[in-house]
Amino acid sequence: MTLDFALILFIATVVCGLLALFDRIVLAPKRVKAIAQYESQVSQSREEDLAALKKVPVLVEYGKSFFPVLAVVFVLRSFLFEPFQIPSESMVPTLKVGDFIVVNKFSYGIRLPIIDQKIIPTDELKRGDVVVFKYPVDPSLHYIKRVVGLPGDVVTYTRDKRLVINDQLIDERFLKYETGSFENIALYEETLGDHKHTIRKLLSSNIREAQVFKVPDGEYLMMGDNRDNSLDSRAWGFVPDKNIVGKASVIWMTWPTPKFTNLPSFSRAGAIE
Residue type, 207: I
**Residue 240 φ then ψ, to 5°:** -70, 150
Helices (H) and strands (E) in the chain, counts: 5, 17
Residue 90 designated active-site: yes
Exposure string over 117-151, b if 16+ CB within 10 A, otherwise e:
eeeeeeeebbbbbbbbbbebeeeeebbbbbbbbbe
Residue type, 3: L
Annotated active-site residue in 90, 107, 230, 233: 90
Distance, in Å, from the CA atom of 172 to the CA atom of 192, rounded to the nearest integer, reads: 9
Contact 140, 4 (CB under 8 A): yes
Annotated active-site residue in 64, 105, 134, 145: 145
Catalytic residues: 90, 145
